Structure 1
Amino acid sequence: MKAEELNQEYVLGILEKLLAVPSPSGFFGPIMKLVEEEAAKLGLACERLPKGSALIKLPGRSDEALGMSAHVDTLGAMVRSVKENGRLRFTPVGGYSMHSVEGEYCTIHTRDGRTYSGTIQSTRPSVHVFPDARDLKREEANMEIRLDESAANRADVAALGIRTGDYVSFDPRTVFLPNGWIKSRHLDDKAGVACLFGLLESYVRREVVPPRTLYVFLSVYEEVGHGSSYMPPELRELLAIDMGAIGDDLSCTERDVSICAKDSSGPYDYEMTSKLIRLAERDGLGFAVDIYPYYSSDATAAVRAGSNLRAALLGPGVQASHGMERTHRDALWNTIRLLDAYATEEARD
């Protein structure tokens, strides 16, 4: 695929839509409605699986199948308890450090469909009041949510319908800059999902029929470790699309597609990873090969659950993962073009 064959406006548009819909792990109703609607616009079948995930199928020239996965679920929180002062204690959904959400605006989603605005703070939020405000350890016991309601005690909060187990989503604060930078929470992994929709849109619009049937699997529990624990048994290869980490000892940048050779679960398939590297070099893509010792993916969940398949991992470079994340649209284009190269190479050879 040439860069000019990409519908860049479509990719950025679907990314903006995805980022705007709250979807902490397990709270997937609204985001999956968007996924189903988008698949229908492309004329593609979208099957909802019992666990909540979606499976989109694009027929190929043969019944042999290639899987591609990404996750629509994000980091978030859940109400752990209501405090006597009307503040909410919360428990994390997904793995993030508490300092990364301090001061964040959030939304509480009640089980009966109501939503309330709030702010995540430490229990000592003001340096003008608390002498230990700067030094207080940012851990779960020292964090709380201040509701933007007249709620001074537990009874006030109960009257709002808020209770233990209600989900909390974080304000994504999405910004698309004219120079190509994209900053937002939850680029992990909604940027990857947008790349997959960009690939599908390109194939449908240009009437491309890939050599193998494509199964695009969108999971809803990746951030808690079991997103793609089920994979269709006909799959022999799986490409997991997730954000590429950036930092010390890593070569990936925010403009690259990252190819992960090994993460905390061990090495990814040698032949698939080598093929991705070869194709990225052949097409002159901006890419990096890295090792992520504190990372796992949907491919990890699939293999550990017993799926009999080979797996590789790639995705757009994202700085400050599980925090205030940033990428560049070049990383999206490089990711989509590498996915296309892998899916269609047999037709080119």
Structure 2
Amino acid sequence: MSTKKLLILPGDGIGPEVMREVARVTAWLSRKRDITFEIDEDLVGGASLAEYGVPIRDEVIEKARTADAVLFGSVGDPAWSHVGFDKRPEVAILKLRQELGLFANLRPAKVFDALVDASTLKADVIKGLDIMIVRETVGGIYFGEPRGIETLPNGEKRGINTEVYTTSEIERVARVAFDLARKRNNSVCSVEKCNVMESGLLWKEVVTDLHAREYSDVKLSHMLADNCAMQLVRNPAQFDVIVTGNLFGDLLSDLASMLTGSLGMLPSATLGAVQEDGRRPALYEPIHGSAPDIAGQGIANPIAQILSFAMLLRYSFDLQTEADMIEAAVAAVLATGLRTADIMSPGLARVGTDVMGEAIVRELDKM
């Protein structure tokens, strides 16, 4: 098997701590599965600001372009809260998405059996839940023009943001959703507000046309965004893959993540278009933040970072078996009762970051 070129960007806060536990997994894959990685590591976010004066250097962006995949930790450091927006640590992840053309964010909401009681919803509602939300990330109201704040003749101010989508932007993210559904339960729900927004009407028309032309084997349904929010709480198990625009995806993916009751457990992937050479730009990261309040204490939960790496194996390297093994190892460790502080319950065994990572590798050894 060829060597995989991997760029690792631990970032700030707990990022370096949880990323160290991924190193245990990559070492295990090399040792036991004969999968080798050419790993490069660099600074982003506050760490890059401290060293270089910018949240991300052009050299790092170029490394990301040539890597087979990027594994990202987290950025955000209150020490830099005084700087302008263009210098904040968070610019690193935004610039990577923009420069690499990462337009499709994949955020799973999966409930592990051992954590079914951690959700605020009833166990019978969320048991076995496994949803994938595909959010368009480089278009819509966050990027549309015109935008800004203007002063009106009467002295009032007016804020302007514009919701804009083109046929090609909708088609490319819908293709990602349909292709994912074919590998899951073969069902896609497309979400918009076609009843009050022209962009939503176009979204529905384009997804419907694409489905008829190329994906008629996949079950397609449509749902208004407000109803989807309600249904995610009422009966989330009805969904397999949800595809939606930037704004609604932002809201619905956060809602879905909390169905699991464990924000610190959830990974994500953001994908670009397949290039002429067959490579596809991709970045993988946990959805939790840098958590500076617990950084350096060895108590952070590394599972979301490890599961992000599992997504990397699945979607960038087509290593389905190894991705499944890592996810199964996580489930097995949770079933033994080991818990980091963020998912701790009475009567279970509280452990730190390194012990959780070590336990996951021990489970992999058993396989």
Taking structure 1 as the reference length, the TM-score comes to 0.26
Considering fraction of residues, name the structure with more helix.
2
Considering fraction of residues, name the structure with more strand.
1
